Structure 1
Amino acid sequence: MISSLSFINQKGEILIYRVYKDDISRNEITQFCAKMIATKENKEFPIINIDQTSFIHISIKDIIILATTKTDVNVAMVLEFLYQLVLIFFDFKSKICKSYFQGNLDENCIKKSFVLIYEILDEVLDYGIPQIADPNLLQKFIQEGGVQQETTINIEKLRQLTFTLTGAVSWRPIGLYYEKNELYLDIIESVNLLISAKDTVLRAEVVGSIELKSKLTGMPECQIGMNDKLLMGKQQKQTRQTIGISIDDMKFHPCIRLPKFDKDRTITFIPPDGHCQLISYRISENINIPFKVNVFYSEIIDNKLEIRLKIKSIYDNNIYGTNVLVKVPVPKNTVNAITATALGKARYEVEEQSVIWRIKKFQGDFETSLRCEINLGATNKDQVWSKPPLRMEFQIPMFTASGLRIRFLKVMEKAGYKTNKWIRYLTKGGEYLHRL
């Protein structure tokens, strides 16, 4: 698939050059550097074709990572592979090259680590086909410095490494042990909303993720049961009436067994150790909007403006929103503001050009209001104030705007140990806007 892989500096000089097929010469890459690097066109066009050769590249600070090919390849896959290389070489969490680069990605660091980089490139690609791109897996058999620190390899370690390479659980090492076995599951959602001045919903979507933190012994298998009916992709178009939750996009962690999910919507997996994101998703239909906002602006006299704001929480009264913040925009020539509210605190903040209303705790199915009297300074009457939208920030535990719920969470391991399990829900305000 990939004929060659190169690391190029900002001058167009080739620092690293690894050949996997002989259908593209170094001279062709040099011509690419002369034509594209010198004219700075590489940042605008990540995919460039020259004489039936495809140059696919990404830029990381002053270094360009370039993949070349003459075949019809999946470009998205190649770009994803190049970004995965960045995680292997330059990510702070990667233990392979942390001691070499230490957060500084430049030409000198690459020149000092030639041996290590070439060794890694030999492992991640085989005849131009991506093989191993997991930093946690690579660090098991590529030691710091590019050479093995032990002269003899323990047979048991070799057996474990072979199992990791050939099996389907490269994300989890074997032999883990915890005195207390614990599993945390967090469903975190951000609500993006845009409402017109006439209270019409112009845009509404939920961007969410299912976060997992596991401290489990051995090699357990976990199962998560979600809502009975989840509609995805073509299922939404084929169903005339919307039933359950319609999911537009979903991204899965490699540990999840997709055939099982497609069959009965059960998430079955062997969990990675520690924290990971199991699923990310986006929903744009049938969203439970947590707050209803009504805003009224009225001019009392020439230099005085009154703002009345009502907010009602639209979730169960046994649920409490926390850290609610409402940013009410005011004209630029505002001198001061007198605020009155029965819940929380509100004050005019000059640097924000807004009245900021903060509420620590907001009960569900509850309505409260804010009244502001804005004193204005002298201004040009011909200038019309273009009102920016009102913004909201909030956090609501035990509530999901999408309606997504977890029906069950199971942990199955041959040792049969007891697992402490926690399921938590949290909805946050993303781009939550109300036009005035």
Structure 2
Amino acid sequence: MLPFQGCYGFVHRDPSVVNAMDFKVGASILRSSSRLGKRSTNAFKSHKEAERRRRQRINAHLSTLRSLLPSVTKTDKASLLAKVVHHVKELISQAAQVARQDGDGFCSGSSGGGGGGSEPEKYCAFPGESDEATLSYCDGEAKTMRVSVCCENRPGLNWELSQAIRLVRGRAVRAEMMTVGGLTKCVVVLQWASGGGGDEEARILRRALKAVVENRVSGCGLGQNVDGVNYFHVKVVGLLFVATTRVNVSPSLVLELLQRIARVIKDYLGILNEDSLRKNFVLVYELLDEVIDFGYVQTTSTELLKSYVFNEPIVVDAGRLQPLNPAAIFMQGTKRMPGTAVTKSVVANEPGGRKREEIFVDIIEKISVTFSSSGYILTSEIDGTIQMKSYLTGNPEIRLALNEDLSIGRGSGRSVYDYRSSYGSGAVILDDCNFHESVRLDSFDLDRTLTLVPPDGEFPVMNYRLTQEFKPPFRINTLIEEAGAVKAEVILKISAEFPSSITANTIAVQMPLPKYTTRATFELEPGAIGQTTDFKEANKRLEWGLKKIVGGSEHTLRAKLTFSQELHGNITKEAGPVSMTFTIPMYNASRLQVKYLQIAKKSNTYNPYRWVRYVTQANSYVARI
């Protein structure tokens, strides 16, 4: 026996034991190799996922670069990076050139007002990372100031900046603008008008520029608070009526007050526009003094104000004025309403000192309809009002009868889609309505008659809303097709679905076009008269105007579009929807009618004039493409 045999493992063992040990060793090796395989697979999957995320980040950054570069379509990565390098070099060169310029490029001075011996102030026209608005006086004899605004680029920014400058009666003499990466910097040099340029104007301008930077100009709504003062305004026929207060009051109260003040002024002046207000300033001032006394509202009733305000207005000739509403086209046919129907004052007398006894009742409806791309009606609504204007002396009692089958509430479940005519029969189903405080409803449930003693001036007798089905006056069909790589054709068709005895006036159709549209040519139907077409390149919009449309007729417009780049995707998603505005005299879609207008007689010879007119206007008339 060798002495060291056991040390090297050559020990004699039982064969069965050796086989068992070999099996265990083999199993252990297999388990080890299996664990190594799982680790390798997991590592491979993790590496693959990391590589995928890295490619996504690269592609996202490349897309961002592609969107930042001007006039770049989809290109490969190498060309894109080459253009980025070239563009960055150009920006560096421009920045170096601007940095070498001194304040003489625009004006020189300092924020403290600028003295003759101060060094020129350098500026950079590139937008910074933060929003800011700065003012600085320029050197020289004339009162000039440099205005700098840096903020996020958005539509209407130039208009907001110009409005801020007009607020202080400044005149822009030079301007520069630069937009980089969605940020815009505007530098404007303005001169003050005579007597301007003081600290007060600078303070107002600085506050206005702050509102521009904070984007509070276009989104301020009807009321806002500035330095503790609440400002409220309403717009009536192009005129702004503004109220200010430091007290925390209800905005609805102030807005309603402004509307009533506008109504009272219109009752007295007859015509509500800038010319009539300027010529009757003393009368308007006297009316405001009676309506509001030391900040407290006294009355807005024209009837009560006639007891305190006796001055007659200076009448403005309505014949040379452009109509601000469709009042001039309310009546059609052989019997027309006098031209002074809407522009007549409730206090002015006729020539010769006599006053004509007459009363006007207007049924005005504003339609909101949304059509789907296939022509089906998605939403439809009518907002209507019965407006009355009385020139009757003594305020006699009036009985106003409506449709006998008038229903209020949606529980009836009936449809009014069986349109016959503007004067036809059929159920009229209103969702809800409200009445003026002077209306008595004693017999309304019985025979649908309203009894009232009309106050002086113009007032709404009844407001109503209808969302049941009704036949819209117009149908709009739109078709847009690609006519090549950079061309498309648009076909607009309007169908008037009301009787031929009725004519719609002042029709305007608008359609937004793709933002890369550069040109549009139009083709009207043969024999078209009184139609205009235009392509607004600034806001990429197609406009089609028609002077009048007779009921039952159809009109078609073809437009050929040219684009600055090839079409990608669905063009219908980048165009539309088509919107339409119109006015239809002597027509109402709801078929609400005034059956008779009865006035209590003072004597057998008392027979005032009665005028009833209907008009339908488009509130939101939209057709999707």
Which of the five TM-score ranges fits, normalised by the shorter chain?
Answer: 0.5 to 0.7
Q: 1:358-369 residue pairs with structure 2 within 5 A?
A: 358-369=545-556
Residues of 2 paired with 1:278 and 1:88: CA distance? Answer: 15
- Write the letter of the residue equivalent to 1:366: S
CA distance in 2, matches of 1:269, 1:210: 13
Question: Is contact 1:206-1:287 (8 Å) kept?
Answer: no
User: Within 5 Å, which residues of 2 pair with 1:176-325?
Assistant: 179-233=355-409, 236-238=410-412, 244-325=427-508
Larger Rg: 2
1:28-427 correspondence to structure 2 within 5 Å: 61-65=244-248, 93=265, 99=285, 116-117=293-294, 135-136=301-302, 179-233=355-409, 236-238=410-412, 244-342=427-525, 343=528, 344-378=531-565, 381=568, 385-416=573-604, 417-427=606-616
Aligned residue for 1:289, secondary structure, equals coil
Deviation at 1:345, TM superposition (A): 2.5
Structure with more relative contact order (C-alpha pairs < 8 Å, separation 6 or more): 1
**For each residue in 1:95-126, what CA deviation from the matched residue of structure 2 results, as whole angstroms up to 9, or x when unmatched?**
9x9759979xxxxxxxxx9xx549x68xx7xx
The Cα shift of 1:252 comes to: 1.2
C-alpha contact (below 8 Å) 1:178/1:215 kept by paired residues: no
Q: What does the per-residue CA deviation read over 1:180-226, in whole Å, with 9 as the maximum and x for residues that have no partner?
A: 21111111111111111122211100111111121112231111211
Q: CA deviation at 1:310?
A: 1.3
CA RMSD, 1 decimal: 3.9
**SS in structure 1 at match of 2:379:** strand
Partner of 2:446, secondary structure, is helix
Residues 286, 402 of structure 1: 8 Å contact kept: no
Give the TM-score of the pair, scaled to structure 2.
0.45
Describe the shift of the 1:180–1:357 C-alpha distance in structure 2 as closer, same or farther (beyond 3 A).
same
- Helix, strand or coil: the match of 1:410? strand
Please state whether the residue corresponding to 2:482 is helix, strand or coil: strand
**Structure with the larger strand share:** 1
Quote the offset at 1:136 in angstroms.
5.0
| SS of residue paired to 1:262 | helix
SS at 1:246's partner residue? strand
Q: 2:303 touches 2:456 (CA, 8 Å); kept in 1?
A: no
- Cα separation, 2, equivalents of 1:309 and 1:90: 40
Q: Which has the higher helix share?
A: 2
Structure 2 unaligned spans of 5+:
1-224, 232-241, 269-282, 310-345, 348-352, 417-425
Partners of 2:544 and 2:253 in 1: CA distance: 46
In structure 1, how many angstroms separate the alpha carbons of the residues matched to 2:287 and 2:357? Answer: 36
TM-superposed CA distance for 1:361, in Å, is: 1.1
Aligned to 1:351, what secondary structure does the other structure show? coil
Q: Deviations over 1:368-427 (max 9, x none)?
A: 211111111126847975333100010111110111111111111323411111111111
Are 2:485 and 2:567, in contact at CA under 8 Å, matched by a contact in 1? no
Counterpart contact for 1:223–1:268, Cα < 8 Å? yes
Equivalent-residue separation in structure 1 for 2:259 and 2:563 (angstroms): 53
Does the aligned pair in 1 maintain the 2:490–2:558 contact within 8 Å? yes
Give yes or no for contact 1:193–1:203 (8 Å, CA) kept in 2.
yes
Deviation at 1:89, TM superposition (A): 9.7
How many residue pairs get aligned? The number is 319
Equivalent position amino acid for 2:544 in 1: W
Query: Over residues 301-320 of structure 1, what are the superposed CA-to-partner deviations in whole Å (9 max), with x where a residue is unaligned?
Result: 11001111211100001111
In the alignment, is the contact (CA less than 8 A) between 1:221 and 1:412 conserved in 2?
yes
Q: What secondary structure is seen at the aligned counterpart in 2 of 1:301?
A: coil
What amino acid does structure 1 have at the position aligned with 2:594?
A: I
Following TM superposition, by how much is the alpha carbon of 1:290 offset from its aligned partner in structure 2, in angstroms? 0.4
1:299-342 residue CA offsets vs partner (Å, 9 max, x unmatched): 01110011112111000011111111111221111111111112
What is the percent sequence identity of the aligned residues? 27
Alpha-carbon distance change, 62 to 380 in structure 1, aligned in 2, over 3 angstroms: farther
Match of 1:22 in 2: none
The answer for unaligned runs of 5 or more in structure 1 is 1-36, 44-58, 68-78, 104-112, 125-132, 144-171
Retained in 2: the 8 A contact 1:334–1:374? yes
